[in-house]
Structure 1
């Protein structure tokens, strides 16, 4: 979930990247609207299913009136001292053409393909300054042009203080599988990619959706690290059963099912204090009063 200042500008950007709004939720009592976006076209990995069963969903949260507030801005997670959430990542069919298309549309880049040492990735910036990493879906470009309908919402990146503690939490408490590790001792960081979906036989993760990337910078486990509070969302086969399991594992809650007005969602906390929203997967098990 990302908070946005002007939903129309943000929706225009993510639709330009090939995503579509799968559901819009107005919450008048809280004076906010949530927009859920995903890749749902014929070339996507998602079929005709409930939004709680989609892979790689992005939620944009708009607090009413912020679009007219000159003082309102969001922290993108990449500035001191608020280095927590890092970026979303979109994998594309032809990275050179895709980046040119983004630039030609007037959107800015944090890093272009031709900049820096890593010439195989770029970072575009959405209207609020959030970074969107652009990566290849395959080792070689899949086409000579680019088709946003074939893109993937590949992963979300979070910085973590203690890699061992976070990996233990996401694997044991959350049931995710570590599918890829990238160690970079020269620059003193490691990347860990986790997923629920099965990894393809070739072991490539760039064509998948809904992965979680944990970035650990060496030595942060010994430092005071301030993270940006945003949240991930997972859907479960049994919402109450999942929450009971988290209780038994002594996972801390930010909001239990019985708290507040929204009795159909809960929020737990990971070792760095990131919120994880827990909802019912409607395809797997129907619940009342959804």
Structure 2
């Protein structure tokens, strides 16, 4: 058996939510559709899988495991009625780690106005701060959702409306302690390609964008953001000097207080992929053979973030979900 990392997809990002009705309304307003739901009645939780779907989307009508850029909402029963339940959004000390998801939009001015008019709160409006080309809206649990441009301003100038169904779930941002170590892991072990990087020496941080080119559009090398049309990118944020700190620097989202859960890679052959990961001496959170669920595995990255590994059901049938 062999596995080909070029067929892998950064399938989804999981976040825990307090009230699925409110979260589904918010993300639905951003154009995302529910493409699957899994209920685990005995364990008292449900999983909602959201994505950009249909003719104006990048993935069309593909099976949920055969996509980049899916958002998984995890709801533990009863949290919606618990006045003390809150999530850690990953951006407040001392529990920083996960930063945000980012959506690329056709017209960022109109997209932001539409959200403001609907009454959704912003962490940063387009007109605030030094960076006037991005905004951050907050979802019902306080997670940050970055809004970026899909096209350069000169191209978007002729756009007089915004169509949420044409948006892209572009990337997920994680803070990392040691950029060199994390880049090596995601490129050599997970098979991702580094497709964009930027340095901000005055603010003392670098950004690295990695992904699987497979079903994504060609990189637009002459564009200000050459991968704005993509879905399923991983943005690693490295703040200078953290690599010199002792021990764990960032919160993984799965130890208390919980919030972000994991990113997930879908693969061509789950058994072969896990055998390859085993040969590379990855740190396992859960092997395929562990526990009751024999169709998922979890790897820990260098910062302790969880990476779920599942079968791409279009390439090889394994699970009926």
TM-score norm. by structure 2 comes to 0.88
> Contact between 1:45 and 1:55, CA under 8 Å: does it hold in 2?
no
Structure 2 matches for 1:185-200, cutoff 5 A? 185-197=201-213, 200=218
269, 274, 277: which one pairs with 2:305? 274
* Partner deviation per Cα, 1:138-165 (whole Å, 9 max, x = no partner): 1122611100011000000000000000
* Partner deviation per Cα, 1:225-280 (whole Å, 9 max, x = no partner): 13233200010001011111111100011011111111100000000000000000
SS at match of 2:73: strand
Could you tell me how far apart the structure 2 residues matched to 1:135 and 1:90 are? 6
> Contact between 1:182 and 1:190, CA under 8 Å: does it hold in 2?
yes
243, 252, 263: which one pairs with 1:221? 243
Higher relative contact order (CA 8 A, sep 6+): 2
Q: What's 1:32 paired with?
A: 45
Could you tell me how far apart the structure 2 residues matched to 1:48 and 1:152 are? 14
Runs of 4+ residues deviating >3 angstroms: none
89, 97, 105: which one pairs with 2:102? 89
> Any gaps of 5 or more consecutive residues in structure 2?
1-13, 254-260
The answer to whether structure 1 residue 231 and structure 2 residue 231 are counterparts is no
Query: What is the Cα deviation at residue 222 of structure 1?
Result: 1.1
Could you tell me how far apart the structure 1 residues matched to 2:232 and 2:80 are? 29
Query: What is the Cα deviation at residue 200 of structure 1?
Result: 1.8
The answer to whether structure 1 residue 160 and structure 2 residue 176 are counterparts is yes
* Partner deviation per Cα, 1:104-126 (whole Å, 9 max, x = no partner): 11100000011000000000000
Query: What is the Cα deviation at residue 287 of structure 1?
Result: 2.0
After the TM superposition, which of the residue ranges 46-55 and 5-14 deviates more from structure 2? 46-55
Query: What is the Cα deviation at residue 136 of structure 1?
Result: 0.4
Could you tell me how far apart the structure 2 residues matched to 1:258 and 1:129 are? 36
* Partner deviation per Cα, 1:46-69 (whole Å, 9 max, x = no partner): 122211001210000000000000
Query: What is the Cα deviation at residue 285 of structure 1?
Result: 1.0
Q: What's 2:192 paired with?
A: 176
